[in-house]
Chains A and B, each alone.
Chain A
Amino acid sequence: MKARVYVTLKNGVLDPQGKAVAHGLHSLGFAEVEDVRIGKYMEVAIATGSRAEAESRVREMCQKLLANQVIEDFRFDLEGDGAS
């Protein structure tokens, strides 16, 4: 089973990278861009057949390592399923 994990900066944490990219897009003529926030995407392959187990284990992985909850939020889905 594969988990797709998205880690994003919490609201309120300044994202200077996102700001720089937004400026770049403006320079290219994408005037409609209001904001860019940059995050991380990870794919985690897991040896389990149980979705419920995978979900609770991936949540724990996110809490303990994949995201730093002082500054980041996370969400994930399991392959073939949009639920998180």
Chain B
Amino acid sequence: MKVRWGVVSFPGSNDDDDALHLAADVLGHDAVRLWHKDADLKGVDIVILPGGFSYGDYLRCGAIARFSPVMQSIRAFADGGGLVLAICNGFQILCEAGLLPGALVRNRSLSFVCQDVAIRVDNAATKLTSQCREGEILDIPIKHGEGCYFADQATIDGLVANRQVLFHYADAQGVVSAEANPNGSLDSIAGVCNRAGNVFGMMPHPEHAVEKLLGSVDGLKLFLSLADAVSSGRGARASA
């Protein structure tokens, strides 16, 4: 079964083409661009909200994008069990929209960080991580100025209790430490999912780690996990 991926383009998105390339050229699946003004999700199985600087990061990163017509459709798609992967600016948008818990604030260093990081898979039983092993280290790049994950303690406790923390920043041996935390995220959290387990947000860019040329292919496992969830009937297709 050919999986159909939809990648949203907001004004200011800049990783949408990379995600489309991943889906169409690397995976050989169907890939369609979803324009932010268009509420039609074109019958996709999976929606990717890509990185970038939607609406110039005005007010707060992600604060304006959530009003786009496409976001109303994505909310309904997610409520119906549709699979949504939000990367970097996409993660910021879904936190602003309340589809994922918490918020992303200015990096503790105040610097924009652009580097390869190691992230540890802390729950391999989700639709995004089923092709990974628990504790596996993935080499995936980050590039952001506002990627410091924050939520109040009750929210963090809930995320941990429900196993919604999918990735932690770690060193190459998988040890979580302040030194291996590139942005000051609380508890070194690099990625989370919603309670229902169908909406995922992460600051690292798996779409930039899908070909040897890019230095790492570890990101592929996440996309293959999502595709597998669709193939095995654990997703929900958007109406065409």
Which residue from B105, B108, B110, B184 sits with its C-beta under 8 Å from A71? B105
| Interface residues of B, count at CB 8 A | 18
Q: Is B95 an interface residue (CB 8 A)?
A: yes
Contact with A along B144-184 (1 / 0, CB 8 A): 00001011100000000000000000000000000000001
Q: How far is the CA of A17 from the CA of B109 in the complex (A)?
A: 9
Q: How far is the CA of A83 from the CA of B102 in the complex (A)?
A: 31
Beta-carbon contacts under 8 Å, A16-33 to B: 16-17, 20
Instruction: With both chains docked as a complex, state the minimum distance between the C-beta of B44 and any C-beta of chain A, in angstroms.
Output: 28
Pairwise interchain contact B60-A14, C-beta atoms closer than 8 A: no
Pairwise interchain contact A71-B150, C-beta atoms closer than 8 A: yes
Pairwise interchain contact B150-A65, C-beta atoms closer than 8 A: no
B-side contacts of A47, CB under 8 Å: none
Q: Which DSSP category, helix, strand, loop or mixed, fits chain A's interface?
A: loop
Which residue from B59, B63, B109 sits with its C-beta under 8 Å from A16? B109
Instruction: With both chains docked as a complex, state the minimum distance between the C-beta of B150 and any C-beta of chain A, in angstroms.
Output: 6
Pairwise interchain contact A13-B105, C-beta atoms closer than 8 A: yes
Q: Which of A12, A13, A17, A20 has the most CB of B within 10 A?
A: A13
Pairwise interchain contact B108-A17, C-beta atoms closer than 8 A: no
Pairwise interchain contact A70-B150, C-beta atoms closer than 8 A: yes
Pairwise interchain contact B108-A14, C-beta atoms closer than 8 A: yes
Contact with A along B78-109 (1 / 0, CB 8 A): 00000000000000000110000011011111
**B residues adjacent to A (C-beta < 8 A):** 59-60, 63, 95-96, 102-103, 105-110, 148, 150-152, 184
